[in-house]
């Protein structure tokens, strides 16, 4: 990943080598969804436990490239203990950061993204954007499954 800022590279490598919230949760009561990126072979499974509207616990398993696995770790750290609406908000911001959503609006405030901003360099490598967004899309699947009427 030459071309990425060194600090950002360090954050990505740190999350890749020491992934946060790694593991599984019992389903049920947890909910889970599996995501796959055939272009790169990345795979992630996201487990979420909700307490009301709060993501009280999140665990992730998976295999794949450093970007996909670091992004999973960063995503889990960003939403754990937060509300689902906060998670959706972060998902929307991340999609804009990755230029997947290019509707006009406020520019992304990189500073408010915290460590997630480390992935912004990925936009220079369009083939890797799907790696970076995989965990977020999988989280979206988990939460939208829950939101649908039972």
What the block records as the tokens of 104 is: 């006009």
Give residue for tokens 């009280």: 56
Task: Classify 99 as helix, strand or coil.
Answer: coil
Count Cβ atoms below 10 Å from residue 82 Cβ, excluding itself.
16
Regarding 65 and contact with Zn ion (CB under 5 A), the answer is yes
Instruction: Quote the least distance from Cβ 68 to Zn ion, whole Å.
Output: 4
Q: Between residues 21 and 68, which has the closer beta carbon with respect to Zn ion?
A: 68
Give residue for tokens 């689902």: 84
Q: Between residues 65 and 70, which has the closer beta carbon with respect to Zn ion?
A: 65
Which residue in 1, 13, 31, 40 binds Zn ion (CB under 5 A)?
Answer: 40
C-alpha to C-alpha distance for 43 and 36, rounded to whole angstroms: 5
Q: Between residues 30 and 136, which has the closer beta carbon with respect to Zn ion?
A: 136
Name the residues that contact Zn ion, by CB under 5 A: 40, 42, 65, 68, 131
């Amino acid at each position: 990943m030459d071309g990425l800022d060194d600090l950002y590279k360090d954050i990505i490598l740190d999350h890749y080598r020491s992934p946060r919230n790694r593991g599984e949760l019992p389903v049920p009561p947890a909910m889970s969804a599996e995501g796959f990126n055939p272009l790169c072979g990345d795979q992630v499974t996201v487990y979420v436990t909700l307490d009301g509207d709060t993501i009280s616990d999140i665990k992730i398993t998976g295999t794949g490239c450093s970007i996909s696995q670091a992004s999973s770790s960063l995503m889990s750290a960003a939403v754990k203990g937060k509300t689902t609406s906060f998670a959706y908000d972060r998902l929307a911001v991340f999609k804009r950061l990755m230029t997947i959503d290019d509707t006009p609006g406020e520019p992304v405030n990189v500073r408010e993204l915290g460590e997630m901003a480390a992935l912004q360099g990925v936009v220079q490598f369009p083939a890797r954007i799907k790696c970076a967004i995989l965990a977020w899309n999988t989280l979206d699947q988990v939460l939208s499954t829950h939101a649908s009427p039972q």
